[in-house]
Amino acid sequence: MTSKQFICSIFLLFGPLCSVGAVELLPGDYESKTAEAKLELLFDHVKATEGTRGDFPNPFGYLRFLFGDDLSPTCDLFSDLIPYNHEKRIHSVGQVAAMQFESNGEHPYTGLFQGAPYALVRLSLAKKASSWQGTIPGLGVKFFRDGMPSANFVAMYSLDGQTSGNFFENDFTTHVNTTSGVATSFMANKFAKVSSPAEAIGLSDIASYTVEGNKVDEPIFPAELILVPNNELQTRFANSPPTEESLEEMMLSIPAETKLYDVHARPTPSSRQELIGSIKITSKLMYSSFGDGHLFFRHQRIEEDFELRPEWKPTQGQRGLRKRCPLGLDGFDD
């Protein structure tokens, strides 16, 4: 490690204790740089703190999240660094890798849906793994664009989580089903004050500009993304217990150039899902205190999608965006 990397590592390790998301981490002309350059800058910080990690908050931290924190910056601010002065209250510890979204070219979606070669993915649990509560896995994806802010999305299986420790056991979606748990219901209500329906995020920003930063005149975007795990990973980790040690072993065993997910999309909220591409990591996954303490993934308000597709807005009394078939059939109104 060079002296420059050592100084950077010390700052990144202790910086979050003082000022999370400190602007000094990035040059003043950061947003004007190319997508490739921005990925390199951020990933250099990730690599400088490889092997270190943040901490899950204590119960008081969760209470501050539920009853005190303002979640508006999560949706309002276009930034690659955390825009508030405290640690992540949820998804506090994760693993980061460089990635690419590879389009199959068999869909109409525009912008970065045509392909995103410069991106980061962060895999994380909403709270610490527990043998009696299981895990609540989710991820954030950051697509870099030339000369302008990144586009982001987040996806999960369920706010209630799963009993398994296999991170790749279930599909992830950008439209999480309504929760049944008391604590997670509080969390959903908290997000609903900022964006509603709270269980869905917008995707129109991803379709609105190309990787070169060129504006798309008429963006075409799906209503929902579904991430289907690589079957080989799903099978390999099938018996993983819900522990932090098992999760670490799992993530650190996945090499670069591995496909993590096939990406499916619903053209409308009640359509059948269609394969549009895949997510492949181009580096190994790594724990990083920079990723935990500084990386920020904007949650696009679903209302921004409704402005462009008003017919997708739920009717009064409808729970969630996707119509539910009484027989459990997917895309029943196609």
pLDDT digits (tens, 9 = 90+) for 48-106: 999 998 776 656 555 555 555 566 566 578 789 987 665 655 556 899 999 999 999 99
Q: How far is CA 199 from the centre of its chain?
A: 14
pLDDT of residue 5: 42
Identify the three-state secondary structure at position 49.
Answer: coil
Instruction: Extract the runs of DSSP E, i.e. beta strands, from the chain.
Output: 93-103, 116-125, 137-145, 148-156, 172-173, 224-229, 259-266, 274-281, 286-287
How many Å separate Cα 8 from the centre of its chain? 26
Cα–Cα separations (whole angstroms), residue 238 to 83, 165, 228, 231, 284: 37, 8, 15, 10, 21
Return the pLDDT at 333: 40
Closest to 47 in 3D by CA, of 8, 99, 100, 87: 8
Q: Is 320 exposed, middle or buried (0-12, 13-18, 19+ CB in 10 A)?
A: middle
pLDDT score for 128: 82
Quick check: 286 and 124 in contact, CB under 8 A? no
Name the pairing type of β-strands 286-287 and 93-103: antiparallel
Extract the residue ranges of the chain whose pLDDT is less than 70.
Answer: 1-23, 56-75, 84-92, 178-198, 315-334
Write down the pLDDT at residue 183.
Answer: 52
**What pLDDT is recorded for position 155?**
95
Please tell me whether the overall predicted TM-score, pTM, comes out greater than 0.85 for this model. no
- Do the beta carbons of residue 35 and residue 119 sit within 8 Å? no
3-state secondary structure of 138: strand
pLDDT the model gives residue 329 = 41
pLDDT at residue 332, as a whole number: 35
Alpha carbon distance 164, 169 (integer Å): 8
- Res 16: pLDDT: 36
104-147 pLDDT tens trace = 999 999 999 999 999 999 999 888 888 878 888 999 999 999 99
Residue 195, pLDDT score: 52
What does the alpha-carbon distance between residue 334 and residue 328 come to, in Å, rounded to a whole number? 14
pLDDT at residue number 219: 98
pLDDT of residue 1: 45
Letter string b/e over residues 113-132, b meaning 16 or more CB atoms within 10 A of that residue's CB: bbbbbbbbbbbbbbbbbeee
Residue 194, classified by CB atoms within 10 Å of its CB into exposed (0-12), middle (13-18) or buried (19+), is: middle
pLDDT at 158: 87
Q: What is the pLDDT of residue 230?
A: 98
Strand, coil or helix: what is 65? Answer: helix
Q: What share of the chain is helix, strand, coil (3-state, %, to 5)?
A: 30, 25, 45
Query: 80 φ, ψ to 5°?
Result: -95, -5
d(CA 159, CA 179): 6
Q: In b/e form, how buried is each residue of 256-284, taking b as 16+ CB within 10 angstroms?
A: eebebbbbbbbbbbbbebeebbbbbbbbb
Q: What is the pLDDT of residue 23?
A: 47
C-alpha distances in angstroms, 205 versus 5, 38, 56, 60, 125?
A: 34, 18, 30, 35, 25
The DSSP secondary structure of 286-324, one letter per residue, reads EEBHHHHHTB------HHHHHHH-GGGSPPTT--SSS--
List of residues 6+ apart from 6 with CB closer than 8 A: none
